[in-house]
Homo-oligomer: A and B are copies of this chain.
Amino acid sequence: MDRVLLGHGSGGKLSQKLIDGLFLKKFGNKILDQLGDSAILSIRAKKLAFTTDSYVVNPIFFQGADIGKLAVCGTVNDLSVSGAAPLFISCAMIIEEGLDLKILEKITDSMSAAARSSGVKVVTGDTKVVEKGACDKIFINTSGIGIFERDIELGTRRIKQGDKVIINGDIGDHGITILTERRGLRFKHKIKSDCAPVNKLISQVLDFGVDVKFMRDPTRGGVAATLNEVVRDKKFGIVIDEKKLPVNTAVRAASELLGLDPLYIGNEGKVVMFVSGRSADKVLRVMKKNRLGRKASIIGEVVNRYKGEVCLKTRVGGLRLVDMPSAEQLPRIC
């Protein structure tokens, strides 16, 4: 049998076979192996981070990653930007009847590799199979638990005038990859998703005792949505500098062709950090030593003007409003 059947989600013999033959083999660890209704976790912290995300990306395989890697990295990153060390994740799959079992195995392999590289364990899971046509191939939900090892206080309330905005590299790679692949476009220079776990990069920065005020991963809606969420109802504004925005040449070309602005395009291996003016250069130096931060850049500053707004200082010296994205640019990019 080489395809997923409805019975694989029934709770019966076929479910057992899938769990024993695939999930335990790929994800197996002492906690998951118990196969209880819940995973039992020992926790050595009083403060936890808890997050959830469903992944419905289309296509499920793309340059640089696939839905499995994305599902692990996305949740690891959500925990990490809260200042927590990610430890445990869940994996709940909704699979369309008829999916090739080899595809499921490949996705599970990606999840397993991403979990290993980011140091998290898959400790609990669920599999539902729906009839053909009731979902598109596979959707994956991962929820995650992290612990606060540091006595760190993060929040937009800590942001003030003079703080710097730093990003760890090129923007727009993930969303543009998905969009060009979906449309079957090809470019001279290969474009690939930036999908990666940023927990170690963040940990390295925090280890330096720098004054980080707030972090967020600029996924759906891109850097534009992230910055707009930060300034919303605030007494400050943000000015970002177009010249400092790291954009890969191929991504820039593809964006222009498609009439899209990389500022609004989702990323999956990026963190936007707000740090004190004093700490900015140090953070930049630490980031640049990490493979995922080589193209890190101070892209902007928190200002007392333009309250509640994000402005872009353009290449030619003008100033343009960067509004909250109003409509869906890219459905199912994650």
Contact = CB atoms under 8 A, between A and B. Distances in A.
Contact of A326 (B13, B88, B128, B328): B13
A220 interface: yes
Contacts of A257: none
Given A38-B82, A141-B141, A327 B12 contact: yes
Contact of A47 (B41, B58, B81, B217): B41
B10 A327 contact: yes
Contacts of A93: 54
A82 to B, nearest CB: 4
B134 A136 contact: yes
A10 B123 CA distance: 30
A48 interface: yes
Interface string A78-109: 11011010001011111000000000000000
Contacts of A327: 7, 10, 12-14
Contacts of A143: 52, 90, 92, 141, 143
A4 B129 CA distance: 24
A324 B139 contact: no
A50 B39 contact: yes
Interface string A5-24: 11101111111100000000
Contact of A225 (B12, B123, B124, B329): B12
A40 B49 contact: yes
Nearest to A78: B37
A46 to B, nearest CB: 6
A219 interface: yes
A187 to B, nearest CB: 25
B51 A37 contact: yes
Given A126-B54, A143-B143, A328 B40 contact: no
Nearest to A126: B53
A255 to B, nearest CB: 17
Interface in A129-162: 129-131, 133-136, 139, 141, 143-146
A235 interface: no
Given A48-B43, A49-B39, A82-B40, A7 B94 contact: no
Given A38-B49, A38-B81, 20 more contacts: A7-B327, A12-B220, A12-B327, A13-B327, A14-B326, A14-B327, A14-B328, A37-B51, A38-B82, A38-B84, A39-B51, A43-B47, A44-B46, A48-B145, A50-B90, A53-B92, A53-B126, A56-B94, A133-B133, A135-B139
Q: Top 10 A-B pairs ranked by shortest CB distance?
A: A11-B220, A11-B221, A143-B143, A12-B325, A52-B90, A38-B49, A38-B51, A141-B141, A38-B82, A10-B328
